Amino acid sequence: MKAFFLLTIFAILSMAQDNVVIIPHVVSGGGVQTEVTLINPTSSSLQVMVYFRLGDGNGGLHAPTINGVPTMFVSYVLSPLGSRRIKTEDAQWWTASGYIEIRWLGTGRPLASAELVRGDERMLIGSQAPTNKLWLPFDNVGGTTTLVVVKTGPTQFLRFDYYDEDGGFIGSHSGTYPQSDRITIRTDQYVLPSAYKTGIVAVYQEFPSKGSGIVGKSIIDR
């Protein structure tokens, strides 16, 4: 009997040198939400500021509902090795063109992960600094892994780079895809030679505008 399951990982977003990271897709309402997890991996307290911005090209602030209150930005002091989860709650309003800006003070750096949540489906959100990048695992031992990727914004070009479990580069492929379509990629058709059974795929959306982005997940079929 075949078994289907979704491989979920805590995808760490890259933190830029200038103490800021951009997460595309402020999605809130209409059954779709954005969930952000912040972690302080250091031995000292860390102040983190989270801003919710419109994708209007001007960086204006939006106020999604968080903990029952319309909120344009939040500021947390994360305790050493502490964490905080933020989830938008609006029932009606939603947009796929906004973005979340995370800033922090001090020399330490937080870890962050972002997911798009729709019912029981969870899709990881890639970072944007300045190239949209999403890391997804694959495992073709005794089966196949299918990547499901959705992108927004005018950028049509996507590149898929494959790495083995030791970080060695395997190969890549690229193409142009319609906006907002669900793109499905069977990794066993691209990972050659066949000895490479497990690893990770880096999905790139080059030259994105703020608010455009990519989300995705890995589905393993055995």
Q: Return the structure tokens found at 207.
A: 């030259």
Peptide bond into 193 cis (omega under 30): yes
The total of structural domains in the chain comes to: 1
Beta-bridge partner residues of 159 = 174, 204
**pLDDT value at residue 77:** 93
What is the Cα–Cα distance from 201 to 184, expressed in whole angstroms? 13
What is the Cα–Cα distance from 12 to 133, expressed in whole angstroms? 11
Mention every residue, 6+ apart, whose C-beta is less than 8 A from residue 13.
Answer: 21, 23, 111, 112, 113, 114, 126, 127
Q: Return the structure tokens found at 51.
A: 């801003």
What is the Cα–Cα distance from 175 to 155, expressed in whole angstroms? 11
What is the Cα–Cα distance from 204 to 161, expressed in whole angstroms? 8
Name the residue type at position 127.
S
**pLDDT value at residue 47:** 92
Q: Return the structure tokens found at 178.
A: 């319609």
Q: Which residue range(s) make up the domain with 157?
A: 4-221
Please work out, in degrees rounded to the nearest 5, the angle formed at the alpha carbon of residue 205 by the alpha carbons of 131 and 66: 75
pLDDT in tens, the chain (222 residues): 444 444 444 555 655 556 777 777 667 767 778 888 898 888 899 999 999 887 666 778 888 888 888 888 899 999 999 999 998 887 665 555 578 888 888 778 888 888 888 777 788 777 665 567 788 888 877 778 888 887 766 666 888 888 887 778 888 888 887 766 678 888 877 765 556 678 888 888 766 665 567 778 888 776
